Structure 1
Amino acid sequence: MISIAIQKRLRNRARRRKDEGGFTLVELLVVLVILVLLASIIGPRVIGYLGSSRAKTAQVQIESMVTALQLFHIDAGRYPTSTEGLAALVKSPGNVAGWNGPYLSKADVPQDPWGRPYIYQSGQNGSSFEIKTLGADGKEGGSGENADISN
């Protein structure tokens, strides 16, 4: 026979198990609705920050390449031609006296945040230049995330 004290302990354990029941379906649905509401409010903001951060990244990369082009100009007395392009910042074009590069820290010229090469155009007589990216849409013009970014 089981002693009375052991029987009381078993009954107390059974009562505690009933009191410690899991979540009800209604409680789970309420939590799920709250999570969906939070995601619908926060999601668009996060996506907006992603677009603006890509534009800021492009601007920073362009500024870095402008500095590298200025160093190239100091050493070579001119900016790279349009045919030499930005590759002249990481590898000597061969016909440039005074080239003292590489002028960028990476082995390759970086691509824009949307995965396309930057557009480089040299001015007349190598006295000026323009570096630009066409934004998210890859087309001239645009606004917001699709806006062109240049130096």
Structure 2
Amino acid sequence: MLHRNLEQNATASAVRRTRQARRKGRRAGFTLVEMLVVLAIIGSIVGLVGPRVLNYLSESKVKTAQIQMENLASALDLFYLDAGRYPSTEEGLSALVQRPAGVSSWSGPYLKSAGVPKDPWGHAYLYRAPGQSGPYDVGSMGPEGREGSAGALSRAAKEK
């Protein structure tokens, strides 16, 4: 009888431990509702912050293009001081890094980089001499990659 009582007590405590382990296992995870609430919060944060970050990125590309066009304009002015003229449209901006034919007093390269930089969207800068409102025009096709598009930028030289 004593042996039987010990057996029943051992069996009962094993059953209790199994039930407690099952209850702990159920409590250890997250419910579907909790997961959906967390996902909704993360989604709303991304929805609010994402457009602002993308806007800052596009604004920074426009500012970068404007600064690069100012640098190109400065290099063109240095070319003018040395050669007495601006590069022709055919010579283009590459005249700032390689001596064009027929220019004897070239003191370049006038740009720090080895070549003419591309705009922040990966397109070549536009150059026209004479320009529409000055001796030259320097421009970027903008994010759309088309001349005259809504996002296109330009810088015209002031008359000397």
- TM-score tier by shorter-chain length is 0.7 to 0.9
Distance in 2, Cα, partners of 1:122 & 1:28: 62
Give the alignment of 1:1-151 within 5 angstroms: 18=24, 21-123=28-130, 128-137=135-144, 138-142=146-150, 146-151=151-156
Alignment root-mean-square deviation, CA: 2.8
- Secondary structure of 2:28's partner? coil
Higher relative contact order (CA 8 A, sep 6+): 1
Distance in 2, Cα, partners of 1:41 & 1:123: 47
CA offset digits 1:61-100 (Å, max 9, x no partner): 1001011111111111111111111000011113211101
Amino acid at match of 2:24: K
Pick closer, same or farther for the CA change 1:82–1:147 going to 2, 3 Å. closer
TM-score, structure 1 as length reference: 0.78
Residues 139 and 152, structure 2, Cα contact 8 Å, conserved in 1 = no
Superposition misfits of 4+ residues, deviation over 4 angstroms: none
- Secondary structure of 1:37's partner? helix
Distance in 2, Cα, partners of 1:147 & 1:89: 23
Across the two proteins, how many residue pairs are aligned to each other? 139
* Partner residue in 2 for 1:4: none
Instruction: Answer with 1 or 2: which has the greater Rg.
Output: 2
Gaps of at least 5 residues in structure 2 are 1-12
The percent of aligned pairs where both chains have the same amino acid is 46
